[in-house]
Amino acid sequence: MADVLAAQGVGVDYPTPAGAVTAIDGVTVAVPDQGITVFAGPSGSGKSTLLRVLALVERPTRGVVELSGETVSTRSHRQLRALRRQTIALMFQSPLENLLPELTAAQNVIAAAQSAGQAPDLELLGVVGLDGMGDYRVPALSGGQQQRLALCCALARDPKVVLADEPTSQLDDTSAGLVLESLKVLVDRGVPVAVASHDDRVIELADRVVRMRSGRVA
Ligand SMILES: Nc1ncnc2c1ncn2[C@@H]1O[C@H](COP(=O)(O)OP(=O)(O)OP(=O)(O)O)[C@@H](O)[C@H]1O
Ligand SMILES: [Mg+2]
């Protein structure tokens, strides 16, 4: 097993009116190219910050991020944007943030595939249990269905890795269970997944758990 993503000694500081706040510090973690890695820890422990840095959305203040063994976090914002589009799918907590709400489910899948230069495959809707719902507009889908559509869009982009920040926290138990099943489907199709969550149901699913505390790996 190789690592698809790795953080080496990563620290992130944020400027605030009261001075710099260190969100994470000295974090060295790897996301292997198989299975589900979960970043767990209490609120404020730095899970989302770590995920954003690994997703190349943000550059670390200290340390580096490697993609498939190559240091990439030192590249320009423009280069990172291009790299991200081709290789990384990042999923947010709020279902609507992950989708184009004025489009149908099928149109979202097509747009996602095209954004990564992939040929759209609408059969993927069935993979996440949304067969027959291609013509539904996003607002007509439940939160859980929207999250599964977001996973479908991630799959359509054929990324090297999927990163998800608290994908179940805004869902009821049943919907969360279905989203987790879809996450497993992604992993079974060979896509490595990293999830930030303090949800026990997510942690149960993990192949490995990285525990965070006060911005560090515990
Ligand atoms: N943009 C920012 N500006 C200032 N401080 C920030 C910023 N983003 C995060 N922080 C701080 O960094 C620390 C880690 O935050 P982060 O959101 O990564 O934690 P988290 O583990 O995801 O928490 P939660 O479980 O509540 O989502 C917190 O103390 C937070 O207040
Ligand atoms: Mg968070």
177 Cβ contact list (under 8 Å, min separation 6): 201
pLDDT bracket for residue 5 (50, 70, 90): very high
CA distances from 190 to 68, 80, 120, 160, 174 (A): 15, 24, 19, 9, 25
Counting ligand 1 atoms within 8 A of each CB, the residue from 48, 53, 59 with the most, and so the one to mutate, is: 48
Q: Whose atoms come closest to the Cα of 43: which ligand?
A: 1
Counting ligand 1 atoms within 8 A of each CB, the residue from 13, 49, 54, 93 with the most, and so the one to mutate, is: 49
Tokens of 207: 């192949």
pTM of the model: 0.95
48 alpha carbon – ligand 2 mean position (Å)? 4
Concatenate the DSSP letters of all residues of 51-74 into one string.
HHHHTTSS--SEEEEEETTEE-TT
Percent of the chain predicted with pLDDT > 90? 95
The per-residue pLDDT of the chain, averaged, comes to: 96
Ion ligand 2: protein residues whose beta carbon lies under 5 Å: 47-48
27 alpha carbon – ligand 2 mean position (Å)? 16
pLDDT bracket for residue 1 (50, 70, 90): confident
The pLDDT value given to residue 124: 95
In this prediction, residues 62-83 reach a mean pLDDT of 96
- The predicted-structure confidence for 99-150, as pLDDT tens digits, reads as follows 999 999 999 999 999 999 999 999 999 999 999 999 999 999 999 999 999 9
pLDDT bracket for residue 48 (50, 70, 90): very high
Residue 215 has pLDDT above 90, yes or no: yes
